[in-house]
Amino acid sequence: MERDAVIIGGGPAGLAAAVALHGKGIRSIILLEREASLGGILRQCIHDGFGIDRFKESLTGPEYASRLIHEAEERGIEYRTSTTVLSISSERVVTAAGADGMLHIHAKAVILAVGCRERDRGAIAIPGERPAGVFTAGTAQAYINLYNRLPCHEAVILGSGDIGLIMARRLTLEGVKVHGVFEIQDHPNGLERNTIQCLDDYSIPLYLRHTITDIHGSGRVEGVTVSKVDDRLVPIKGTEREYRCDSVILSVGLVPDNALALPLGLDVDGRTRGVSVDENLMTSIPGIFSAGNCLHVHDLADDAALEAERLASSAARWINGDLLDSCAIPVIPGCGIASIVPMRISGKSDVFFTMRPSCALRNAVLRVTAGGRTVWKKRISRALPQNMLSAEVPKESLSSVSGPLEVTLS
Amino acid sequence: MERKLTRFSFDNRSICSIILSMTDKDAFDFIVIGGGVVGSAIARELARYDARIAVIEKNPDVVDETSGRNSGVIHGGFAYDTGSLKARFCVEGNRMMDSLASELSVPFRRTGKVLVGNTEEDRKSLERTMEQGAANGASGLRMIDGRELHEIVPAVLGSFALLSSSSGIIDPFLLTIHLAENAAANGVHYYLSHKVMSIRKEKDGHIVDTDKGSFRTRWVINSAGLGAKDVSEMLGFSSYRVIGSKGNYLVLDKTMGALLPLPVYPVPSNTYMGIHVTPTIDGNVTVGPDASPTMDFSYYGVPQEKIELLENSAGDLWPHIHRKNLIRTFSGILPKLVDENGAIQDFRIEIDDRIDSRAVNLIGIESPGLTSCVPIARHVVSLIAERETLRDSSSFNPCHPRPIRFSELSEEEKDDLIRKDLAWGRIVCSCEMVSEREILDAIANPLGVRTMTGIKYRTRSMMGLCQSGFCQMRIEQLLERSGLDADEVEYMYPGSWVVKGKVRA
């Protein structure tokens, strides 16, 4: 079959891209979702706090998802659930397996909105035995909220990412004893509101500069050893403490899912670990776009959805046969910036930059420079690594730029 | 065939009173203790003859110890003392591996392997290894220079190497599982999760007492691997010294497998291969093992310092070992028979008529046990055949059907299957593209294994980048659908519950 746009992933980014493309007049759209229903990870996030930017009210994950699904269904956008994309070719043929057999869809534009995955125990090389009961926070959340299964009775949480904080509260509400949240950094990794609402309000202790140095148990987790770490994050001998528990819940970071992008040969950015895109959110292969958590990990579902809407603008132009400006000017994350999107710009359009600060700063200046000359700047009252920054830089500031663009925060 | 036992509940005193195979008619001719790669190979070789055979395995699956915790390398046979059983069986096992792997439908590739050197001393040592290999009958050994080495593995760090072109890589899980399943298909009874507690000698044989009841058998074959010393003592053999050699491993993701066409080893000693990097048959890379002595044969913890040691020492061989590609760690323990001075001994495979003329005792079966499994099994059968006549079975079928892996099929084949059975189109594990049909077939395995890792090793589900984050819930649910209660689903070893019932009734 043929479609103007194939959207892979039915979470907030994929749904928002579908709705926005439709709004731009694109009618031949198909959205593919591997789960049995649309909504993505929102389905298991039954807490509220979603949608404050986009819907101007605080919604639960399933409510947020159902609003987007409703918008898509109202517009009659075609979608297939329980349909897993197996491969994408550089000629933009998407191959998927689903209930109707194999699908081959020739597309003018392919939109990757496949989300991210959680780093698990292996990725951070936690020493110790390998009993059952070591879950990523999202897996534990899925067991409780989607599958009605209790994954533990007594837990230690490693990492203070948002899902870990949310799960500290969720598990406590289900009668699980949560001994504490242990964070290797000197600051919590999740949103401030989550530290307050999920830990402080439930008297769950947060231990900064701590990590798990051993996991015990051959069948099920029987306990963990926790140690303090020094400034280089190395465990300090003699500070070990033992906790008896039957579970370790990990909230140690999210990584863009590149499972489809890598075999396709898309360029990957070493900092975001997602694919590299230009100001149109187009990847290194023409006609293949990426947005949401598979491009870079966002703090909020709203941000992923808004990014997908920006993608829809350029993808619609591409589908309609407009030539998109070639983007030859590289963007370099400089001092104070851990990662930045997009990675290439044309210098001919306004650019929406999204970036993650590398450290906490007050009264800082976000600066865009080219060849040592500042072309644009903005005052930032407070920057935190756990909060993404964004800035729209007008084309007038970029039109004189020819060489690499550097973005700094200091 | 009735393979599943009724569960008895009884205290220790009554163990001896329950004999599950009570009458002579029901008694087994052979009981193999230990269902790992060697035990299952022995059971399968015995199944070529007209006999009643059982395998008693203490774990819930056949790959839960050493057989599933290794490098997955088929060795050439050059690294062992000339004249040893290790050398002889390894060379034989290597030669037969193409036909064995094809009979049993086990993924195997003769990749070759290189042992990399830098100094004059290394060169002399590798040349000695090559001579020893020639004396052992190992084929395909030659020294290669730096240029050829780097053509084979561009990134390797080394000046020259010994190339063993007959070495290869195999799926160690499927080799063991398919040996066991083929044995079972040929009438061997598998009793999993049965731990042997004692063995009583009778006039015409033995009564083997397990924690779940007793079995009468004429012959006992001790192939208990890490537990072989204990079983050997139950049989009345004098005490052997067996020490564990624990090795830790790192597993790297599949982007790294593409950069490593064959195993890269350092210069070996006669007793230890050294920390190496090995592509797995599925495209991952394993790094390891180190080797430290242990007497705790059930502790598989991987300590921090070993993780760092592996990264550093293997990094001297191959520079692509980075934390960002690390997906897992694991460890394995080799049971090494040692003499009073601690020197590592050859495999010991014996019948001692003074002690028990119907017991075959296998001690110190370690590396290269995976490569040598069938030659060891045939040797065991030949020892038995010296004492009694074995009659060929008329119905033995050596072939194990190839399980279908959705991810390996052509588009047309995938389409056909989905149209016949929708479960093929429901992808449960999207990292490794494993369909619900494959999971259901694995749950219905002929050994009756119902653990999460049992499904994992049979299908590769949960082995990909997300390491089960997205698919384990669905696999847990499918296990429940097969008849287990939520509380009964276990990950691997006894007590490894996954969830505790429902959140809401």
Dump the DSSP string for A347-400. SSS-EEEEEEESS-EEEEEEEEEETTEEEEEEEEEEE-TTS-EEEEEPHHHHTT
Do residues B315 and B419 share a domain?
A: no
B24 lies in a domain? Answer: yes
- Report chain B residues whose CB lies below 8 A from the CB of A127: 301-304, 306-307, 329
Confidence bin at B204 (pLDDT 50/70/90)? confident
Confidence bin at B203 (pLDDT 50/70/90)? confident
Judge: B465–A152 Cβ closer than 8 Å, yes or no.
Answer: no
Residues 456-475, chain B, touching A (beta carbon < 8 A): 464-470, 472-473
> Chains A and B: how many Cβ contacts under 8 Å?
160
How many Å apart are CA B127 and CA B483, to the nearest integer?
58
Cα distance from B330 to chain A (closest Cα, Å)? 8
Q: Please say whether the beta carbons of B35 and B13 come within 8 A.
A: no
Judge: B411–A213 Cβ closer than 8 Å, yes or no.
Answer: no
Confidence bin at B19 (pLDDT 50/70/90)? low
Eight-state DSSP code of residue B289: -
Taking only the tens place, the pLDDT of each residue in A296-340 is 999 999 999 999 999 999 999 999 999 899 999 999 999 999 999
How many Å apart are CA A148 and CA A42, to the nearest integer?
16
Do residues B298 and B418 share a domain?
A: no
B67 lies in a domain? Answer: yes
pLDDT at B238: 82
- Report chain B residues whose CB lies below 8 A from the CB of A125: 250, 304, 307, 323, 326, 329
Confidence bin at B270 (pLDDT 50/70/90)? low
Instruction: List the single residue in B with minimal CA-CA distance to A216.
Output: B301
How many Å apart are CA A278 and CA A338, to the nearest integer?
18
Nearest-CB residue to A125 (from B300, B326, B500) = B326
Stretch B336-349: mean pLDDT, rounded? Answer: 96
Cα distance from B10 to chain A (closest Cα, Å)? 23
Judge: A218–B300 Cβ closer than 8 Å, yes or no.
Answer: yes
Do residues B313 and B421 share a domain?
A: no
Last residue of a domain, one of B352, B381, B402: B402
Nearest-CB residue to B304 (from A139, A143, A213) = A213
B70 lies in a domain? Answer: yes
Judge: B430–A34 Cβ closer than 8 Å, yes or no.
Answer: yes
Judge: B414–A149 Cβ closer than 8 Å, yes or no.
Answer: no
Q: Please give the backbone phi and psi of residue A211, each rounded to the nearest 5 degrees, phi first.
A: -150, 165
Residue A167, judged by CB atoms within 10 A of its CB (0-12, 13-18, 19+), counts as buried
B495 lies in a domain? Answer: no
Q: Please say whether the beta carbons of B271 and B298 come within 8 A.
A: no
pLDDT at B24: 53
Assess whether pLDDT exceeds 70 at residue B2.
no
| Better pLDDT: B17 or A279 | A279
pLDDT at B21: 47
- Report chain A residues whose CB lies below 8 A from the CB of B299: 129, 218
Instruction: List the single residue in A with minimal CA-CA distance to B413.
Output: A102
- Best A35, A37, A130, A255 member to test B by mutation, with max B CBs in 10 Å, is A130
Report cis status (omega within 30 of 0) of the bond before A357.
no
Here the CATH number for the domain that contains residue B461 is 1.10.10
- Average pLDDT along chain B: 93
The residues, ordered by sequence, that sit 6+ positions from B201 with a Cβ below 8 Å of its Cβ are B236, B356
Judge: A101–B425 Cβ closer than 8 Å, yes or no.
Answer: yes
B319 lies in a domain? Answer: yes
Judge: B300–A130 Cβ closer than 8 Å, yes or no.
Answer: yes
B444 reaches A (C-beta below 8 A) = no
Stretch B349-357: mean pLDDT, rounded? Answer: 96
Do residues B249 and B280 share a domain?
A: yes
Do residues B419 and B357 share a domain?
A: no
Confidence bin at B166 (pLDDT 50/70/90)? very high
Q: Please say whether the beta carbons of A3 and A9 come within 8 A.
A: no
- Report chain A residues whose CB lies below 8 A from the CB of B424: 97
Cα distance from B13 to chain A (closest Cα, Å)? 27
Q: Which domain holds residue B343?
A: 13-107+167-402
- Average pLDDT along chain A: 96
- Report chain B residues whose CB lies below 8 A from the CB of A152: 500
Assess whether pLDDT exceeds 50 at residue B15.
no
pLDDT at B268: 85
Assess whether pLDDT exceeds 70 at residue B285.
yes
Our measurement of the distance from residue B245's CA atom to the centroid of its chain's CA atoms, rounded to an integer in Å, reads 16
With a pLDDT cut of 90, the percent of chain A lying above it is 96
Domains contained in chain B, number = 2
Do residues B391 and B429 share a domain?
A: no
B157 lies in a domain? Answer: no
Judge: B427–A128 Cβ closer than 8 Å, yes or no.
Answer: no
Instruction: List the single residue in A with minimal CA-CA distance to B486.
Output: A149
Nearest-CB residue to B496 (from A99, A146, A219) = A219
Do residues B390 and B452 share a domain?
A: no
B497 reaches A (C-beta below 8 A) = yes
Q: Please say whether the beta carbons of A85 and A96 come within 8 A.
A: yes
Do residues B370 and B476 share a domain?
A: no
Do residues B345 and B410 share a domain?
A: no
- Report chain A residues whose CB lies below 8 A from the CB of B418: 97-102
B298 reaches A (C-beta below 8 A) = yes
Do residues B302 and B426 share a domain?
A: no
Judge: A102–B469 Cβ closer than 8 Å, yes or no.
Answer: no
Do residues B83 and B206 share a domain?
A: yes
Do residues B421 and B291 share a domain?
A: no
Which residue matches tokens 């730096």?
B146
Judge: A84–B430 Cβ closer than 8 Å, yes or no.
Answer: yes
Here the CATH number for the domain that contains residue B313 is 3.50.50.60
Taking only the tens place, the pLDDT of each residue in B466-494 is 999 999 999 999 999 999 999 999 999 99
Assess whether pLDDT exceeds 50 at residue B5.
no
Judge: A259–B470 Cβ closer than 8 Å, yes or no.
Answer: no
B155 lies in a domain? Answer: no
B396 reaches A (C-beta below 8 A) = no
Pairing state between β B168-170 and B73-74? antiparallel
Nearest Cα to B382, choosing from B46, B47, B40, B28? B46
Stretch A222-240: mean pLDDT, rounded? Answer: 97
Q: Is B150 part of the annotated catalytic residue set?
A: no
Taking only the tens place, the pLDDT of each residue in B65-109 is 999 999 999 999 999 999 999 999 999 999 999 999 999 999 999
Assess whether pLDDT exceeds 70 at residue B20.
no
Confidence bin at B8 (pLDDT 50/70/90)? very low
How many Å apart are CA A393 and CA A368, to the nearest integer?
9
B160 lies in a domain? Answer: no
pTM above 0.90, yes or no: yes
B304 reaches A (C-beta below 8 A) = yes
| Better pLDDT: B327 or B272 | B327
Nearest-CB residue to A97 (from B300, B425, B452) = B425
Taking only the tens place, the pLDDT of each residue in B134-150 is 999 999 999 999 999 99
